[in-house]
Structure 1
Amino acid sequence: MTRAPADSTAEPYDFRAQRLFVDDALTEGAQVSLDRDRAHYVSDVIRLAVGGHLHLFNGRDGEWRAVREAGGRREVLLRCEALLRRQTPPPDLDYVFAPLKHARLDYMVQKAVEMGAGRLVPVMTRRTQATRVNTERMRANVIEAAEQCGILTPPDVLEPVTLPRWLADLPPERVLVFCDEAAPQADPLAPLRAAIAGPLAVLIGPEGGFADEERRLLATRPGAVVLSLGPRILRADTAAVAALALVEAARQAAP
């Protein structure tokens, strides 16, 4: 038997349904006409017939069951029928990272979305390997991951900024969780439990780690939580999954 998520309405939730992110406002009876790329996806990739259903969300109005209505050969027109899940606030969690190249960056972005990041912030460090960041490609990966894993609000993707500039602009109430391969090995959940109640910024460094002056700069941040991710040196994309999993574990264990 299919069970609805905790924040759903009384409408049964179909976990097997295709989900599609749209920019249109979603209300009962609202009609959504898809652009060419999404019309191609619905018609030719998932082959949704007229009368078939899928789920729509836009990050503002919750998730809706929609039916495909009759239209032209190249037109896909959808109509919202029922609210399935009410909108909830996105996680107050910034995932901050030194950009990687190509496929590994795609993987990192997708996993950060799946692990509950509310905002993605690329920062340029002394040892950052990627000199150019394609934020439009990152946003496309964010949308795809959100569609696949049931997230209602796709995380925002910010434009790249230098590490010192980002740190200078970080609000004082946001706790910095700084993952450092040079940190002493200790229980990583203990310090996280103490910081988990408020807004967080989880920072993962570049391949090769942070430069000494960057470590000193980060260490001056009041209340910063320095974590070791274990005895092995992790690739940056692996470290992202490990760090965000620890944050989720700490939140689940919080009273």
Structure 2
Amino acid sequence: MPATPAWPPKSAPRLFVPPVLGPGAQRQIEGNQAHYLARVMRVAPGDTVILCDDATGEWAARVAEVGKRVVVLEVAEQLRAREAVPDLWLCPALIRKDRFDLVLEKATELGAARIQPVITRRCVADKLNLERARTITIEAAEQCARTALPDLAEPARLESLIGNWPGDRILFFADEAGGAPAAEAFAAARGPAAILTGPEGGFDETERARIRALAAARPVSLGPRILRAETAAIAALALWMGSAGDW
């Protein structure tokens, strides 16, 4: 006797949708998401789609109707509650758009609770399209089966960020001038934390002195090699998750 197929299938498409979901709810999917379901994934009535609402968690839904511009879904049952992620902020300096896109994507996959872009004196970029950036984080969350989207903040100037830093949150400062080995510092830390990484040209001396003067700052080293800005952000986040996060 053949085994009963698992439901919902693991290969089902996954989407984030507003607002809050519940059993029996119906959702009309439009725009790019409808195109993805109908034209890319070629869903048909009866197929399964996994929905997340960034509030209650993950739900299985069945396709009720597929139109030219709209796909109608009926929510069937909850699969997982919204996950709890470690209280870690990633504060990467803005860099070139394509490279910062990578930081947004990987920070989401690795489990950052908040992404706080930072503008420093040597940044080659000083603006961020938040709508586009949010789309990148949503698509990354869909791909990696994350049920909680990272909080994405507007870029803040370094002076403002430091001046308003919450005293109960450790700020690990990836300082190219050196500091405690990052793995040791991360493993020993307790409570809310954040990681600050610099732009392509690094922090200047005035910025470095201002950061080090912050009581909550902990300068750390990411090793003997000079890392690209995006590599430093991703490597530091991965190391923290492996030492003190949810890995």
What TM-score does the superposition give when structure 1 sets the normalisation length? 0.89
Match of 2:78 among 83, 88, 98: 83
Match of 1:52 among 14, 25, 47: 47
- Residues 63-102 of structure 1: pairs in structure 2 closer than 5 A: 63-70=58-65, 72-102=67-97
Counterpart of 1:243 in structure 2 is 236
CA deviation vs aligned residue, 1:146-176 (integer Å, no higher than 9, x gap): 0000111111211111101011112111110
Supply the AA of the counterpart residue of 2:30. Answer: D
| Distance in structure 2 (CA, Å) of the matches to 1:49 and 1:13 | 15
Residues 1:37 and 2:2 aligned together: no
Aligned residues of 1:12 and 1:84 also touching (Cα < 8 A) = no
Q: Which moved more, 1:13-22 or 1:241-250?
A: 13-22
Residues 1:131 and 2:126 aligned together: yes
Residues 1:217 and 2:210 aligned together: yes
Q: SS of the residue aligned with 1:70?
A: strand
CA deviation vs aligned residue, 1:155-204 (integer Å, no higher than 9, x gap): 121111110101111211111010011105x5322221221x31111101
Counterpart of 2:140 in structure 1 is 145
| Structure 2, gaps ≥5 residues long | 1-5
Aligned residues of 2:107 and 2:234 also touching (Cα < 8 A) = yes
Match of 2:184 among 190, 215, 224: 190
The alpha-carbon deviation at position 214 of structure 1 amounts to 0.7
The alpha-carbon deviation at position 252 of structure 1 amounts to 5.6
| Distance in structure 1 (CA, Å) of the matches to 2:105 and 2:231 | 12
| Distance in structure 2 (CA, Å) of the matches to 1:13 and 1:116 | 24
**Structure 1 residue runs of 4+, over 6 Å off?**
none
Q: Which moved more, 1:82-91 or 1:23-32?
A: 82-91
Supply the AA of the counterpart residue of 1:215. Answer: R
CA deviation vs aligned residue, 1:34-85 (integer Å, no higher than 9, x gap): 1222111110111111110010001101100110002544321111111110
Counterpart of 1:157 in structure 2 is 152
Counterpart of 1:206 in structure 2 is 199
The alpha-carbon deviation at position 14 of structure 1 amounts to 4.4
| Distance in structure 1 (CA, Å) of the matches to 2:216 and 2:125 | 30
Q: SS of the residue aligned with 1:88?
A: coil
Distance 1:34 1:253, change over 3 A: closer
| Distance in structure 2 (CA, Å) of the matches to 1:218 and 1:20 | 39
